[in-house]
Structure 1
Amino acid sequence: MRTSVAAILSVSSLNELAKQLLEANLSGIRVSGEVRSLVNAASGHRYFTLKDAGAEVRCALFRAQALRIKADFVNGDAVVVSGSISLYAPRGDYQLIVSTVELAGDGQLAALFEALKKKLFAEGLFDAARKRPLPALPQHIVVISSAVGAAIADVIAVLERRLPLARITLFATAVQGEAAAAELTRAVQRITPKSGFDVALIVRGGGSMSDLWAFNDEALARAIIHCPIPVVNINHRYRPAPALSSTARTISPRAGGAIKSARPTA
């Protein structure tokens, strides 16, 4: 009977073998997670932990790669990183050597919005002087919103109570999804000096930044700027849509507060 005996490895040999196996099989990978324990070293290197609900991995972003990455990130950001696994043999610790970092989800959208805001701000489109004064007693109000939902129901109810003699016209649009931005923009562009409207209300409910991204559309912001009547942004569940809020008048969380600003004074 023959008995095989496994080779006995030293600790150093074991770690070196593990390093070779990891680096050969886990290179050029992409990993998503949340940034934690971020350290910006004086050398320019960035060290952080990438974690999800069940595990975490230490990451190193060295200075040369960090200088090439446009997206800034902080603790709590959801990111997708690219890189390769390496092991520090003397301690037996492995880490992800990061080559690229992309903001994910709302973080990515926030970065896109900051770029858009900077562009529009430089053009002077956010100047308060561009916002037209609200009419004291609007007689014809155009509401741009989904035809269904709590937000539009609340606004219509308050309008009918506070301004019972005002005529209300609804331009029904999508407020979420791929078609929403274009539909909202076309609805604003339908308003002309001959339309007979005194004020436009863009009404939306709540949601995440991705849910409300249509309201941060550049074409919509420009349409509002060129609209011949004042445009009011009503947030039914208050969460600002910055591009819209910066070009239109943004009124409070509930329709009651919003309409108060457009009602006749006593």
Structure 2
Amino acid sequence: MAPIEDNILTPSQLNSLARNALEDMFGGIKVEGEIGNLARPASGHLYFTLKDERAQVRCALFKPKSQRLDFVPADGTRVVVHGKISLYEPRGDYQLIADGMTLAGEGELRRQLERLRRQLQAEGVFDPARKRALPRFVRRLAVITSPSGAAIRDVISVIARRFPMIEVDVVPVQVQGTTAPAQILAALQWADQSERYDAILLTRGGGSLEDLWAFNDEALVRAIAAAKTPTVSAVGHESDTTLSDFAADIRAATPSAASELLTPASADLHARLSGDMRQLSQRNRHALDLARRHLDQTAKRLTATSPLARMQTMHERAKAVWSRLQSIRTREHAMRAQRLLHARARLLAKHPAALPELLAIRSTTAMRRLADASSSAVRMRVQKLQGLGRTLHAISPLATVDRGYALVQDTRGALIQSVDQVSLGDELVARVRDGRLSVKVTAKEKDA
């Protein structure tokens, strides 16, 4: 691209140079800021400004790439935009042409969390059908948590008050930070594989999404779902929810609530013991009733199995079998007689003696049909011939004669149609309705 004169550029040339320079220097950058002035025209493109406390930059995200977003942008949303700096030449304004956009900060964490939740749910990791119920009485409990947190104090306090006979082992781990997921996973696998515990409790106090992030680790969530030992998750406060809660067999709103789920209260134990005693008494009475009925049935069977009773039973069975055999024989005899009658009727219908009479009947019927068809055909042809005769007579010259006209012919029989065909003195024949006339041409005159 050559300048118009030495070092003199047009505005379009200058903008083109600036656009190329910007795209070369800032071809792949990421910018974090807050969305403002968001516009969605009918074209499907997104136009907005990305701003912070001190500045803003125009941005454009065109339709094919805007359709790939996994969230709905809105004014005020904090995002990270990646793309390139370019120049909008008609106005001379530079802008950020976005290739994509993701949520920033906690919004990005929530997006990742939701994507992982949908994936694990689709795989059946959270399927309620695979979850196990807690044992009726937990004798040994593994508590995986921070030994210095408030959660373990709440758990021990509630268990000591409700059911101090439970043996509680605290498995110390970090519950937040980069190393926390691996520690919690290792502790869970150790407690599950040891087969020492009736249940495993994973717990910690409340916090932000980042504080609780260790309990959203994919490997930990899958290990919780695959554990053989029933697991209880009590992470954070009532409003806090992690993927560990979805994967665990039981989810408790708080550490104290988890302790109450794992331990029976004294009043509950007393009521349960009383109920068990009532059930035991009912079962004993039921067992005695069953034994009495069994004894009565045994006595009846012994009476029924005496030689005389057995002989009478066999005699009754023989009579019943003989009656069934007689019935079957009578039924089969009737069926065979009916089949024989049907076969005889079919044979008689096809016997050779009946064939001449049948053929004579068929011949007479065929001759009658042929005569009827011939008469009908003759009548139709006569009627057609008469119609043709009437039509021929209607267009015949003789029909014209019958109406009072005459046909003029020369002596050879040729029809005279013009005065030019005759000369003075020629003899002609005029044919009228009832005969012929001989005429002689004495004069002729041609119509104008």
TM-score, normalization: structure 1? 0.78
Question: CA 1:149–1:194 in 2, change beyond 3 Å: closer, same or farther?
Answer: closer
Matched with 2:289 is none
183 and 94 in structure 1: CA distance in 2 versus 1, 3 angstrom threshold: same
Query: CA shift at 1:93, angstroms?
Result: 5.8
How far apart in 2 are the matches of 1:231 and 1:169?
Answer: 14
Counterpart CA distance in 1 for 2:37 and 2:165 is 59
Q: Do 2:203 and 2:235's aligned partners in 1 also have CA atoms closer than 8 Å?
A: yes
In structure 2, C-alpha distance between the alignment counterparts of 1:143 and 1:234, rounded to whole Å:
11
Aligned counterpart, 2:213: 213
Map of 1:3 onto structure 2: none
Summarize deviations over 1:110-130 as a string: whole Å, max 9, x none: 333333223322221211122
Which residue matches 1:159?
159
- CA distance in structure 1 between the aligned counterparts of 2:151 and 2:51, rounded to whole angstroms: 37
CA offset digits 1:124-167 (Å, max 9, x no partner): 12111222112343221110011212222222222222222211
Please, which runs of 5 or more residues in structure 1 have no aligned partner?
Answer: 1-11
Give the letter aligned to residue 250 of structure 1.
Answer: R
SS of the counterpart of 2:191?
Answer: coil
1:176-232 superposed Cα distances (whole Å, 9 cap, x missing partner): 122211111111111347533122110122333233222112211121112122211
- For the 8 Å contact 1:206–1:239, the answer to whether it is kept is no
**C-alpha contact 2:207 2:236 (8 A) present in aligned 1:** no
Higher normalized strand content (fraction of residues): 1
CA, structure 1 residues 138+121, in 2 after alignment: closer, same or farther (shift >3 Å)?
same
Contact 1:80 1:104 in 2 (8 A): yes
In 2, the alpha carbon distance for the partners of 1:256 and 1:126 equals 24
Cα distance change, pair 144–194 in 1 and its aligned pair in 2 (3 A): closer
| Residue 197 of structure 2 corresponds to residue 197 of structure 1 | yes
Which of structures 1 and 2 has the larger relative contact order (alpha carbons within 8 angstroms, sep 6+)? 1
Name the residue aligned to 1:27: 26
Instruction: Indicate how the Cα distance of structure 1 residues 36 and 27 shifts in structure 2: closer, same or farther if over 3 A, else same.
Output: same
| Alpha carbons of structure 1 residues 121 and 164: separation in structure 2 relative to 1, 3 Å | same
- 2:145 aligned partner, one-letter code: S
Deviation of residue 104 (structure 1)?
Answer: 2.9
Is the counterpart of residue 148 in structure 1 residue 148 in structure 2?
yes
Which has a greater percent of helix?
2
The letter for the 2-side match of 1:221 is V
The whole-number CA distance in structure 2 between the counterparts of 1:237 and 1:90 is 56
TM superposition shift of 1:168: 0.8
The gaps in structure 2 that reach 5 residues or longer are 1-9, 269-448
Identify the residue that residue 250 of structure 1 maps to in structure 2.
251
Q: What is the 5 A alignment of 1:1-266?
A: 24-25=21-22, 27-28=26-27, 29-67=29-67, 69=68, 71-75=70-74, 76-86=76-86, 95-192=95-192, 195-248=195-248, 249-252=250-253, 254-264=254-264, 266=268
Q: Which has the greater radius of gyration?
A: 2
Provide the secondary structure at the position in 1 that maps to 2:262: coil
- Whether contact under 8 Å (1:215, 1:241) holds in the other structure is no
The percentage of counterpart residues that share the same residue type is: 42
Report the counterpart of residue 8 of structure 1 in structure 2: none
Structure 1 residue 45, shift from structure 2 partner: 0.8
Q: What's the offset of the Cα at 1:24? A: 3.6
**d(CA) in 1 for partners of 2:132, 2:20:** 62
Structure-2 separation of matches of 1:39 and 1:244: 40
Looking at structure 2, the residues matched to 77 and 162 of structure 1 have their Cα atoms a distance apart, in angstroms, of 48
- 1:41–1:168: structure 2 CA closer, same or farther, 3 Å change rule? farther
The code of the aligned residue for 1:99 comes to D
- Normalising by structure 2, report the TM-score: 0.49
In 1, Cα distance between the equivalents of 2:16 and 2:80?
Answer: 24
Cα RMSD of the aligned pairs, angstroms, is 3.1
The answer to whether the 8 Å contact 2:15/2:87 transfers is yes
Distance, in Å, in 1 between the alignment partners of 2:13 and 2:157 is: 72
